Amino acid sequence: MPRHTDNLILDLPGKGPERVVLSAHIDGHHLAESAMDNGTGLAAVLAVAAELAPQIADFECGLRIALFSLEEWALAGSAAYVDGITEEERAAIRLNLNLDSVAGSANLTVLTSEFPELETWLVERAAMHGVSLGAHRPLMANSDHYNFARAGVPAARLVAGFDEPESNLRYLLTPADTRDKVACHTSGLRLR
Ligand SMILES: [Zn+2]
């Protein structure tokens, strides 16, 4: 039986044509609450959007909130989005920052998709705000940032508990991905 779903896109223009795309996947899986993956990313993106929306018109670069569906189905939602926009629109995207499973461990890592300058910028910016970010540069096809990166757009995924087998992130994609696993404190960032 055919099924239909949508990506949810909110465009907040700045002074110029360029955009930062801040994304999180909105779909989960049927096993549990999908609390870490990706309730945490969704909550963080919505908090940033609410904070920045009243100010974006004064920024040079606008903000586009992208809540992608079908991430858990081979990144299909973001693939449809990236392949469906014009070359001009794609060229105007300065950065995709993708938040997927951003709590459950105190340690945050950026997966920087072979963009070394982006990696330096993100790690330095986080440090300015008192957050220590790990970095992993190889292109990882493990969330929606991948589709931006393969199209040449600087793209990174922020993830908690990367390469940390004892963290709560080990419960991802299992029935134990429940809200009690989310609470943790990172330096300068609290999600609950
Ligand atoms: Zn995910």
- Kindly tell me if the per-residue pLDDT of 90 is higher than 70: yes
How far is residue 1's CA from residue 48's CA, in Å, rounded to a whole number? Answer: 37
Question: What dihedral angle (degrees, nearest 10) is formed by the CA atoms of 25, 189, 129, 13?
Answer: 30
How much is the pLDDT for 188?
A: 47
Flag whether 192 is in a domain. no
Centre of ligand 1 to C-alpha 187, Å, is 22
DSSP one-letter string for 91-145: HTEEEEEEE-S--SSS-EEEE-TT-HHHHHHHHHHHHHTT--EEEE-S---SSTH
Burial (Cβ within 10 Å: 0-12, 13-18, ≥19) of residue 13: middle
Provide the domain limits for residue 80: 8-187
Flag whether 146 is in a domain. yes
Centre of ligand 1 to C-alpha 16, Å, is 31
Centre of ligand 1 to C-alpha 152, Å, is 22
Flag whether 89 is in a domain. yes
Flag whether 99 is in a domain. yes
* CATH label of the domain that carries residue 160: 3.40.630.10
Of the candidate ranges 59-63, 71-75, 79-83, 186-190, the one whose mean pLDDT is the lowest: 186-190
Read off the pLDDT of each residue in 25-53 and give the average, rounded to a whole number.
93
Flag whether 68 is in a domain. yes
How many Å separate Cα 167 from the centre of its chain? 20
Flag whether 135 is in a domain. yes
How far is residue 82's CA from residue 36's CA, in Å, rounded to a whole number? Answer: 25
Instruction: Please choose, from the candidates 76, 121, 80, 74, the residue with its C-alpha nearest in 3D space to the C-alpha of residue 97.
Output: 121
Instruction: Please choose, from the candidates 52, 161, 152, 54, the residue with its C-alpha nearest in 3D space to the C-alpha of residue 96.
Output: 152
How much is the pLDDT for 75?
A: 97
Centre of ligand 1 to C-alpha 121, Å, is 24
Centre of ligand 1 to C-alpha 51, Å, is 24
Domain count, the chain: 1
The 10 Å Cβ neighbour count of residue 82 is: 25
How far is residue 135's CA from residue 116's CA, in Å, rounded to a whole number? Answer: 10
How much is the pLDDT for 60?
A: 97
Centre of ligand 1 to C-alpha 135, Å, is 18
Centre of ligand 1 to C-alpha 173, Å, is 9
How many Å separate Cα 53 from the centre of its chain? 18
Flag whether 183 is in a domain. yes
Report residue 184's pLDDT band, with 50, 70 and 90 as the boundaries.
low
Flag whether 2 is in a domain. no
Q: Tens digit of pLDDT for each residue in 106-150?
A: 999 999 999 999 999 999 999 999 999 999 999 999 999 999 999
Of 189 and 64, the structure prediction assigns the larger pLDDT to 64
